[in-house]
Amino acid sequence: MTVGSQVKQCLASLKSIEANLNSLSIKSLDEEAQLAFHESCLKTRKVVQQLEARVGELEFEEPQYKGL
């Protein structure tokens, strides 16, 4: 597995985690839990955005990673 595919796999996993946290935030009946899930979702989203930027850099620097 190449570095590019590992980074993209990590990105996909983080997006899944973000979606799960968002879902838990919506479904939770406990306000404190809702807030905790929502804050975690926002932090995960920030990491996703940073990793997406890194994927763009990887694809620019190493064209063979593009489209993996």
Confidence band, pLDDT 50/70/90 cuts, at residue 4: confident
CB contact set of 68 (below 8 Å; sequence gap of 6+): 2, 4, 5, 8
Confidence band, pLDDT 50/70/90 cuts, at residue 63: confident
Structure tokens at 9: 């796999």
Confidence band, pLDDT 50/70/90 cuts, at residue 64: confident
pLDDT tens digits, 27-62: 999 999 999 999 999 999 999 999 999 999 888 887
